Amino acid sequence: MTNKDYAAQERKYEFISSQHGGYWRHDFVDHAYLYNLYFPPESFFERLKDQIHELVLNYPMAQDALASLVGELIGQPSERIVVGNGAAELIKIVSGHIARKLIIPVPSFNEYANAAPAGNVIEFPLEPPYFQLDVDKFAAEIIRSKADIAVVVTPNNPTSLLVPKSDLTRLLDKLSGHDCMLIVDESFMDFARDRDQETLEGEIAQMPNLTIFKSMSKAYGICGLRIGYMLTLNSEFADKVREGIHIWNINGFAETFLELAPQFRKDFSDSCEQVKADRDKFYEELQSIQGLTAFQPDANFIFCRLPDHCPSGPEVTKRLFVEHNIYIKHCQGKTLPASDRYLRIASRTQAENHKLIEALRDIIGGAGS
């Protein structure tokens, strides 16, 4: 690489690292954003093309019809569902306008805290080196602080660690009678090893203090369509969220995806299995880098701690991009000790994952064990 090429790539990195999307336009390998590479199938896009004139020219469905479509897909009554323009829209409504005091374990997905007014968020630290949630201590802090909204992301972002269902049901029991809604964000649950045994969707009818959030972008690979949903038995809470939704918050392309998705259940299940297989192989390869700590993942990405002898997370991230045209996320700025020593790396295809392993080994100087 010439000095001129290096400088151009550095400028490109500075631009990309300031953006929140549009990466596909810039010709690099994206190990930063977290989505399913194997879904939707090509036949879905063919169906979409057949309707493109109608989708562009006509108003989309309203909220009640959209909730019915999601309900058919997940096997839940539509009155329990609110559909958002991505989970981000629902988070903005709950964190920004409903919660009086919100508590969340950290590190976690920053948007819950970022969307809340200053002073309305309590951060409950997950302790290194394992970052597991102690639900008994968390429940005690929720009750002590009188938080009215508590959030648990499982599998968590950026740690990729699942909170066991048994722990969450115990947490719900402890919060019963304390006027606190527990939001469990299951956006990455489809990549968990025992998804059907770990999701709380089947328990929703018995738990009025539970709300499940789900970003469909991650599991279904539809980041550009912007679909998320909220599931709760608590009709009062659901109505409060609906009041913050715009009349046409979901466009016709997203609506059509929801209409067609039930026809692709097998394709979706197979795609998740492929993601998990790639992820597991990637985890094995990351463990071969001497000194690097890779946390066993439950989602489609892997949380890593860099060895002390190597450059920082921001430096490694920049060098991967400038020298190898690969983009990952460092965790500097996340709420955790020594945040600049941690990386979050999305799993892609096995070939792409292997290239990243070789590039990472070259940068941090770890020989195979």
CATH number at residue 359: 3.90.1150.10
Sign of CA dihedral 236, 232, 165, 295: negative
Position 164 in a domain: yes
Q: What is the pTM of this model?
A: 0.96
144 and 206 belong to one structural domain: yes
Structural domain span for residue 323? 3-40+266-364
8 and 133 belong to one structural domain: no
Q: What is the pLDDT of residues 294-305, one digit of tens each?
A: 999 999 999 999
Q: Report the greatest alpha carbon distance in the chain.
A: 65
Q: Where are the alpha helices (DSSP H) in the chain?
A: 3-16, 42-50, 52-57, 63-74, 87-93, 111-114, 135-145, 165-175, 195-198, 216-220, 235-243, 252-260, 265-286, 313-324, 350-364
Average pLDDT, integer, range 99-107: 98
pLDDT at position 8: 92
> Between helices 350-364 and 265-286, what is the axis angle to 10°?
20
150 and 257 belong to one structural domain: yes
pLDDT at position 186: 98
205 and 295 belong to one structural domain: no
State which H helix or E strand residue 345 sits in. Answer: strand 342-346
Domain boundary among 239, 263, 287: 263
Q: What is the pLDDT of residues 129-175, one digit of tens each?
A: 999 999 999 999 999 999 999 999 999 999 999 999 999 999 999 99
297 and 177 belong to one structural domain: no
333 and 281 belong to one structural domain: yes
Q: Is pLDDT of 368 > 60?
A: no
Closest to 101 in 3D by CA, of 168, 177, 180: 180
pLDDT at position 3: 76
Q: How many domains does the chain have?
A: 2
Average pLDDT, integer, range 77-100: 98
Mean pLDDT of the chain: 96
208 and 306 belong to one structural domain: no
Domain boundary among 263, 295, 318: 263
Closest to 85 in 3D by CA, of 281, 241, 267: 241
- Specify the pairing of strand 228-232 against strand 293-294: unpaired
Position 113 in a domain: yes
75 and 214 belong to one structural domain: yes
Q: Tell me the C-alpha distance between 78 and 64, whole Å.
A: 7
Position 369 in a domain: no
35 and 117 belong to one structural domain: no
